[in-house]
């Protein structure tokens, strides 16, 4: 028997296993399409696999996942590109299956033209979390809470125990200072973002000066440009960090990366395996 917000329902169909969808013991991925093709599914799959192995969950075969998602994209048949959220929990894991949710992405050009506003989270990430930062799960106990707490902003920057900048609650972070692009290393305690990885490939293809190193908060706040990366929106310029630190949005470097992004990913076979 379960309560569905209006009444108790007697159901012989209902199994205690169904509860698995609610208890958060799961891993997930968000992927997206460009021109109806699944972008970097192979990279998302590798990350999903690592998270699933850490949590002791079984996962589907790559080809099965790809085939099912392509079928979903075709069935959903919408003119916009789409975002697909994949979730694996103990229940789906038993038959190497998964849940998938599809929705259209309405590109917001304003974001690219005028940038977004960020907060700095008052809460810090612990140095030795129970679940390592490479595991994508709502079980990590801070991500979803902070996303909710700072939800009037596009995202909130989280510092680690040492006060170094890590990432947002749903995005990775880059800054541009005196012509050098800098992003925190994985060792700062961040999710190895797929868009982060591809943006680094793009930066390297340009021969722009690039550093992966710890960033102090004062450095970030005095940067020339800041941008975020995440699957759904790609590269997102930041125009302000509250209360009143302002940045060029998009600055020339960020704008260059945004302008080359689509051509770069489309021409690179590695992202479409
Ligand atoms: N960092 C965190 C904490 C995230 O939750 C996400 C995405 O959900 C990202 C970074 C960006 O990762 P990706 O580029 O793979 O979407």
Query: Could you read off the pLDDT tens digit of each residue along the chain, which spans 273 residues?
Result: 666 666 776 666 666 666 666 778 999 999 999 998 999 999 999 999 999 999 999 999 999 999 999 999 999 988 999 999 999 998 888 888 898 999 999 877 777 788 999 999 999 998 889 999 999 998 987 888 999 999 999 999 999 999 999 999 999 999 999 999 999 999 999 999 999 999 999 999 998 999 999 999 999 999 999 999 999 999 999 999 999 999 999 999 999 999 999 999 999 999 998
Q: Whose CA is nearest to atom 1 of ligand 1?
A: 171
Residues 131 and 196 reside in one and the same domain:
yes
Instruction: Report cis status (omega within 30 of 0) of the bond before 24.
Output: no
Element (H, E) at 3: strand 2-3
Find the CATH number of the domain harbouring 254: 3.20.10.10
In short, whether 230's Cβ falls inside 6 Å of ligand 1 is yes
Residue 72 domain-assigned (yes or no): yes
Residues 165 and 66 reside in one and the same domain:
no
Residues 172 and 64 reside in one and the same domain:
no
Q: Which of 104, 123, 144 is the last residue of a domain?
A: 104
In short, whether 170's Cβ falls inside 6 Å of ligand 1 is yes
Residues 203 and 247 reside in one and the same domain:
yes
The residues, ordered by sequence, that sit 6+ positions from 71 with a Cβ below 8 Å of its Cβ are none
Residues 96 and 151 reside in one and the same domain:
no
Q: What is the value of pTM for the model shown?
A: 0.94
d(C-alpha 172, C-alpha 186), whole Å: 10
Q: How many structural domains compose the chain?
A: 2
Residue 39 domain-assigned (yes or no): yes
Residues 113 and 225 reside in one and the same domain:
yes
Residues 74 and 170 reside in one and the same domain:
no
For residue 144, the enclosing domain spans 109-272
In short, whether 199's Cβ falls inside 6 Å of ligand 1 is no
Residue 7 domain-assigned (yes or no): no
Q: Are strands 225-230 and 172-177 parallel, antiparallel or unpaired?
A: antiparallel
CA of 15 from ligand 1 middle (Å) equals: 33
Residues 88 and 146 reside in one and the same domain:
no
Q: Which of 84, 104, 124 is the last residue of a domain?
A: 104
Residues 31 and 138 reside in one and the same domain:
no
d(C-alpha 13, C-alpha 127), whole Å: 44
Residues 100 and 136 reside in one and the same domain:
no
Q: Which of 71, 89, 104 is the last residue of a domain?
A: 104
This complex has an ipTM of 0.99
In short, whether 237's Cβ falls inside 6 Å of ligand 1 is no
Query: Strand pairing partners for 210?
Result: 181
CA of 9 from ligand 1 middle (Å) equals: 38
CA atoms within 13 A on the CB side of 184: 32
In short, whether 138's Cβ falls inside 6 Å of ligand 1 is no
Which atom of ligand 1 is nearest the CA belonging to 44? 15
């Amino acid at each position: 028997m379960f309560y569905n917000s209006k009444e108790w329902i007697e159901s012989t169909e209902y199994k205690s296993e169904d509860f698995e969808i609610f208890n958060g013991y799961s891993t997930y991925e968000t992927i997206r399409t460009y021109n109806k093709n699944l972008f970097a599914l192979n990279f998302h799959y590798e990350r999903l696999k690592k998270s699933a192995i850490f949590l002791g969950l079984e996962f589907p075969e790559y080809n099965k996942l790809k085939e099912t998602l392509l079928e979903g994209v075709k069935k959903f048949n919408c003119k916009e590109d789409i975002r697909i959220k994949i979730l694996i929990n103990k229940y789906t894991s038993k038959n190497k299956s998964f849940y998938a949710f599809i929705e259209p992405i309405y590109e917001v050009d304003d974001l690219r033209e005028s940038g977004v506003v960020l907060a700095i989270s008052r809460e810090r990430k612990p140095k030795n979390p129970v679940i390592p930062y490479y595991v994508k799960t709502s079980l990590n106990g801070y991500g979803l809470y902070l996303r909710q707490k700072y939800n009037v902003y596009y995202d909130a920057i989280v510092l680690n125990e040492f006060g170094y900048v890590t990432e947002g609650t749903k995005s990775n972070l880059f800054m541009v200072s005196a012509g050098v692009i800098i992003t925190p290393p994985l060792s700062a305690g961040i999710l190895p973002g797929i868009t982060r990885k591809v943006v680094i490939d793009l930066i390297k293809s340009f021969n722009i000066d690039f550093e992966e190193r710890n960033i102090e908060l004062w450095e970030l706040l005095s940067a020339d440009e800041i941008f975020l990366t995440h699957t759904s929106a790609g590269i997102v310029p930041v125009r302000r960090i509250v209360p009143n630190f302002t940045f060029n949005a998009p600055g020339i470097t960020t704008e260059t990366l945004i302008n080359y992004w689509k051509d770069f990913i489309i021409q690179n076979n590695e992202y479409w395996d």
